[in-house]
Structure 1
Amino acid sequence: MDRLVKPDVDEVEFSFMKGENCTATFCLTNLMHTMSVAVCLSTSNPSVFSFSQDFSIIPPLSSSSYTISCKSSDKLPLSTPPDKISVRSAMLPIGKAHTDDLRRLFSKPGRHVFKDASLLISFVGFDVVEFLISNHKRIPDLRSLLNKAISGCSKSQLTALMEPAVSSGKLGLVSVLIDAGVDVNVKDCLKQSMLSSAVRTGKIDIVKRLIDSHCKIDFSVDLVLHIAAAMNHVDLIELLRENFPDIPVNSVDSDGRTPIHTAAAHGHVEVISFLASVGGDVEAVDRTKWTPLHFAAAGGHLEAVEYLLNCSNVKYAVNSDGRTAFALASENGHTDLFDSLRLDDALHRTARAGDVRGLRSCVAAGAKVNGKDQNGWTALHRAAFKGRVECVKALLEVGAEADAVDNAGYTPLRCAVEAGQEEVARLLLDSGAKPISSKI
């Protein structure tokens, strides 16, 4: 005989609710045909768990139910390893005994006492799942505990836990809830989809899981490209555009800012470059007329400033306060941006003044040979208009575009002609500039 009684379960489940007493029941059956059995119940954590009766007597081939209580607490009494119920038994030939007699019986070690079972204690319910999600970083064997806990929850309760699960950044937590049948299209407190929350975690695996589960987004509310841009996640932007081809790359937030504005404000050049390559407007202005260059300059992001200068013509654009990107860099003490934001201006000044040496120095320092001012003029326009022959030669030697067009459609040749600079006009024609009339 290896045991005298048999429990009806291997695990006792508590439907835990914060601040409330909770109970669970289980049943023991006497396996003896002719003899009563004395039973002693105990737990590995008596300060938390207690029984309605620690000692009892079960008649032959009969069953008895037992209630175990868990003290009320705002904190889930979870332990590692899990708490257990120990079931011990002993044969009782006389069939009856007082509690003190039973206490003495089980206090004496020996072969007369059987250890019949060790029942695990587990917890289920909404408060349990919420606790596990909130404390996921310090709970071992989290997934098995969660799989058990969700058995005591309704679908609506589990759906209410999607946002904290997604925000945790743990794919396992999200997958358990999705596999349990939650509504992946539940909204957070800002009326945004779970994909917005997922993108904020920066976890591409969670974003993929939600997309594969048919999570939808509202382009007017879910500014997922802005979120990804702020976090410098080109991979997420690519994934979102692949799965939502209609997502507007120039969508704006409540301030009228596009994802490129956001990336520029953080100095994320790779994101700016990618967004620009798929149609992002590098010259967009927000509600206060700030361009991405304004944000990059104000934040002191040199690489972003240089990239935007190379692919846009808004260096002289002013915001609603009348400030240029240079003014914002100056106000914020970003002196390392001065050369980038003013170097082209210096090139234009030397071209206008006929300073060949200064012009070559500007080019050597990195000035854009074909950089345009607020009117679309290049340095070659200025040199041609002023008749600076040597500067025109020097600019053409370093790659100046002979047929560059300003905002009014004027080329350097036309500027030279209208200014009466015949020598410059002939030089430009000899260098391949397109003639504007047969009279030249």
Structure 2
Amino acid sequence: MRLRTALLLVMGVVLAACGSNATAARTASPTATPATTVAQPTAIPLSISESTYGRLVARTAPGAGCTVEVHVGAPKFGDVPPATLDRTADASGTLTVTYPAPALPKQTARYVVACGTGRADADFPIAGYPIAPQHFTARIRVAAVNEQIDGVTARPDPSLVAARDRDVDTLARTLAAEWATATRGLSTVELVSSAPADIVITVVTARTNSYLSRWSADGSMAIFLFPADDGATLSADNFVAVALHELGHIWCCFGPDASPDGHWAQAIADPLLQGVDRFGLMNHPVSCIVFAVGVESCPNRFSERDLRSMGFTQIPAPPRNACIDSKNALVAQLTTLKGQLASAKAALDATDASLTAMSQQIKALEAQYPNGMPPDVYTTYTALIDRYNATVATERAQVASYNALLDQSNGVVDQVNRLLC
């Protein structure tokens, strides 16, 4: 400790001596230069005036470049909004940022905004599910054949690739229009090619029933479609109908009228729907029809009950269906033809009865007079034969007319059988 103290004392002497020398030679030293002052950056003003999910408005310096971070809790299934957004304030210093806002679980999320040296943050609420049915976005994702997908246990089937690609092409071209028609114009679905979307439809190259999966912990959902079920490969049209059904499960079916698997417990016909569509889309099993031409058709129209489960209260009548209109017109023709055939058949039966009666009379006269008839009886006999032959001619005309009506009726029946409704 003493040595260290001594050293400190010596250092003190040395320092004092250096200071003394500097003072003695002061007139010979160069002119001292003032220390350089570093300019401090000017803070950019920044304040957030509006923060809602999908939209942020802030005030900052005109033309300032800004970065907006969107901090949300990710769901089990589905997309999230973009994590960062780079934008520039306008000439007035207003920064307006909008972005796709997919449905997310209910939560409080946060914006963090940086404009130069300016920093600000703000919380905003996310209302959560369900997805708003009036308009929503969907994204079709085609999984690789051997891709491992969370929630899918079906074994991949490479032989279904061609059917899968055909189905995806049809779905991408027709889903928006089919959905609008199925919902009577109450709802629209917008297909987006990239994330984010409100619902992701994943098409898997495997053989099983399609389904919507709902994660109970956060309510998030995903749809998994398959080009074939356990029975057979689906047609492209039925694949689209299955997609409509699974999209319907976003909202349907819950409550006392629903079964545990999310369908209606009892099928109830909608009086405004006809044909294969008359029970709507949300029953299980879905009632499909195999038509005479060998084509299977499944429902692709929601019933009024289905639409009410989506939250709609003002339900318009369904749009006219050209196929149903054609079928109704043909069925009306069949009804008329059926009446005409019945009348023709009654006339034939009456003619046949008359011929039978005349034939019996003729045979009775022949039996009564085996060796010749008296002149007056013979006159009656020949007149009876003439009447019989004339009636036979009448019957032949009636048969021809009846067969023509029958051919016409069978032709209409064939047209009805060819309609896929």
Q: What TM-score range do you get, normalising by the shorter chain?
A: under 0.3
Report the structure number with the largest CA radius of gyration: 2
Higher relative contact order, chain-length normalized (CA < 8 Å, sep 6+): 2
Q: Which has the higher strand share?
A: 2
Q: Which has the higher helix share?
A: 1
TM-score, L = length of structure 2? 0.22
